[in-house]
Amino acid sequence: MTADAAPLLPRDVAVRLAHAAVQAIADEAGITVLHIKGPVVDATLRAARLSEPVEEGSSAPRPRVSVDADVLVSPEQARALLEAMKRHGWQLAWDFDEGSLFAHAATLTHPHLAHVDVHRWFPGIECDPETAFAILASGARRIPIAGFPCLVPSDDAHRLVLLLHAARSPGGGGRADVAELWTRATGEEQTSVRRLADRLDATVALAAAIGELESVRHRRSYRLWRTLQRRDHTHREVLMGHIVAARPREIPALLSRFLLLNKRRMERQRGGAVGLRESLAGYRTWVSRRIRSR
């Protein structure tokens, strides 16, 4: 009769246990986290569809496949959550400013559980991140994930978050989400999502997700979302989109993040450290090429 310790977990189990572990850590530390994507979608927005009887000749909808667990936390409590997770055996793999120019998520790893992406805000939401979290958390409720009560956003908030994610993942997964969460949604559900996007100033990214991007050409962030919609976009095109979308005071931080990300990318490609001077030289080459090409 065995209860084997630390087995190699099936991926879906590792993801659900990671959600439960983060919730337990957050509860202990008095931090509010919202669980999003992956198994939360199957347990909420897709629950009815997954439990429908399968008609003859058609295939049953499949559970979502996730490789990591995603949580959203208020920017004010984000650092405290990372510290609390580290005290419980998690390791910081990527800090907020190391993953993408949005600087929205940090990744933590665990010896047994799935990676966790801790989002301190969600790309596509342009209002103040603290206000955004408060709006997304209003109407949140607890549902069991791995049998443990985890806090999840309202269905409207979750639908919007998934659509915003789809706006920058125009491949198969993003398209499938738009079809399932927008095209098949009722008119009432769509209206609620549009209203929420207005409150969160997320109308540009939502428009990108649902094929209405040209209706927001006049917005500063239009170029960024048009770029992200293309699967073959380059990092530099994304940077230009960010610069056009940014307020002037945000640009220095954006450029320094770009340099840091470039340095990390060069290090990954070479498998070793790259000095700041070398990284700056690469950046200068790119700028002079752009100037010459005009």
Partner 1 sequence: MTPRFVRPERLAVARARDGSLFVMPLPDGPPRALNGSAEVIWEIAEAGSERLVQDVAEAFDVDVDAIAGDVEDTLRSFVELGILEEASQR
Chain length of the chain: 294
Least separation in angstroms between CB 51 and partner 1: 16
Helix (H) / strand (E) containing 118: strand 115-119
Tell me which residues in 34-93 interact with partner 1 (CB under 8 A). Answer: 63, 88-89
| Closer residue to partner 1, CB minimum distance, 20 or 161 | 20
| Closer residue to partner 1, CB minimum distance, 19 or 159 | 19
Distance in angstroms (rounded) separating the CA atoms of residues 112 and 15: 10
- Token pair belonging to 222: 């239009």
- Token pair belonging to 235: 């990092």
Distance in angstroms (rounded) separating the CA atoms of residues 163 and 207: 9
Distance in angstroms (rounded) separating the CA atoms of residues 77 and 79: 6
| Closer residue to partner 1, CB minimum distance, 20 or 224 | 20
Tell me which of 147, 171, 187, 248 binds partner 1, using CB under 8 A: 147
Least separation in angstroms between CB 19 and partner 1: 9
Tell me which of 24, 135, 255, 266 binds partner 1, using CB under 8 A: 24
According to DSSP, the β-strands at 68-73 and 115-119 are parallel
Stretch of 24-32, 135-143, 261-269, 277-285 lying at the interface with partner 1 (CB under 8 A): 24-32
Tell me which residues in 104-123 interact with partner 1 (CB under 8 A). Answer: 112-113
Distance in angstroms (rounded) separating the CA atoms of residues 261 and 257: 6
Q: Which residues bind partner 1 (CB under 8 A)?
A: 1-7, 9-10, 12-13, 16-17, 20-25, 28, 63, 88-89, 112-113, 146-148
